[in-house]
Amino acid sequence: MRVLVIFLVMLLFLPLASAAQLTFVGDESLKELPGSGTPGDPYLLGNLFINATNDTAILIKNTSAFLLIKNVSIVGENKRPGIILENVKNVRIENIRIVRCSYGIKIINSENITIANSTFKGNLYCYWKSKFAGDADCKGGAIFADYSRNLHIINNSFVPHSYLFSNIYGVYLIMVKNSTIYGNRFVSSVKCFPSAAFGGYCKGAAVYLDRSSGNEIIRNTIYLPSSGGMEYAAEVYGLYIWGQKNRIFLNDFYGLEAFTSEDEARRGVGFLYVHISPFVKMEQSSEAPAVFNSPKVIYRFGNETFEGFLGNYWDSYSGSDENGDGVIEQPFKVDKYPLIFPSENYEIVGPVKEGLNTTTSSTWSSLVLNTSSPSAPSPQEEENLTYVSLLVAIGLVLIILWRRK
């Protein structure tokens, strides 16, 4: 009887079988996977646990066929990337978990990539610039993209693995265009390390845009980490913006900013909600590096319907809302229309035609019209819940059989 129980336990974990590095170069290499590579029947790579201690777990290169990567757990020791996508199109990654890789997902020269409903923990790598001087530096992060377009980063969780290992950057985009960051949760995107000049230095950001334009950052929750008295030696941001025509609205910023002086804050030194790169001039227009409000929309707040612009919620800022439309009358730094309550209290009914910004992606309209809620379970999450429930039920049966001997 016990032999039968052991055999059944082994069967339970077959879907999570370990795998060595998986490499796919060209569409032809994907044909060994289930599926046909079409939008309705993508190739499927899933149900894997991969150790990325010494090698990149998954490498996809030079493909354009439709590929779905799901139900994958990747665990490393902050040495190698979890997934690399290079010169690829039409990849969807969902319901994955990447822990302690140098980069969770690294995207190079790619387009039409979706990353959804996934968890990233403690992805970064650190090295000594000079051991003798005690000088270190840290880089990496959860999602890094370079020279790419049409990325959709939706409903993911970016959280620390431990006090020592957090995602130093949640989403880091270099020369990325027409992409959407929507409904994600960013917690403590920071890393502090030894510095010869300061004794210690902290840096990190939930979202970092480097020469990236035409992107939208909508309905994300960003928790600024505690400074711990290190504001004099830090470059830690909720958002870092360098680019043009980026639109940012209905996001919730929590935590307290910390800086030694207004001049230092303008230079980007401290723990800051937002820092605009000194290489660009900040203006509230469609040509600005960032516009911190929605286009003109019709929205519901409380039991009433309004028409206007919606900014972001800033936890440490309070002001008056004299007309009851949910928008504080006094601007907050870069935001002309700060919200009096968190963004979940605002439902967008539709755009006001003359308020649409046609120079940016139209993705926002399909997202913010409440067609996709960050808290709503996806079909994949429901499938996982069913699978876990089945495991629990079978486990109870196995316990009963084991006790009967």
Element (H, E) at 55: none
Give the three-state DSSP class for 384. Answer: helix
Question: How far apart are alpha carbons 322 and 21 in whole angstroms?
Answer: 59
What would the DSSP string read from start to end of 205-260? EEEEEES-BS-EEES-EEEPPP-TT-GGGEEEEEEEEESSSEEEES-EEES--B-S
CA-to-CA separations, 187 to 119, 168, 211, 226, in angstroms, rounded: 12, 10, 24, 11
Cα diameter, the chain: 75
Question: How far apart are alpha carbons 308 and 87 in whole angstroms?
Answer: 41
CA-to-CA separations, 377 to 45, 154, 155, 385, in angstroms, rounded: 21, 13, 10, 10
Q: Which of 312, 314, 226, 313 is nearest to 270 (CA)?
A: 226
Question: How far apart are alpha carbons 31 and 44 in whole angstroms?
Answer: 10
> What pTM was estimated for this model as a whole?
0.84
Question: How far apart are alpha carbons 261 and 268 in whole angstroms?
Answer: 11
List per-residue pLDDT tens for the chain, 405 residues long: 554 444 444 444 444 444 448 999 999 999 999 999 999 999 999 999 999 999 999 999 999 999 999 999 999 999 999 999 999 999 999 999 999 999 999 999 999 999 999 999 999 999 888 766 668 889 999 999 999 999 999 999 999 998 788 999 999 999 999 999 999 999 999 888 877 666 788 999 999 999 999 999 999 999 998 888 887 888 999 999 999 999 999 999 999 998 988 998 988 999 999 999 887 655 444 456 789 999 999 999 999 999 999 999 999 998 999 999 999 999 999 999 999 999 999 999 999 976 444 444 455 555 555 544 343 334 333 344 444 344 444 554 444 455 555
The encoded tokens of residue 217 equal 């950052």
Strands 103-108 and 125-130, by their bridges, are unpaired
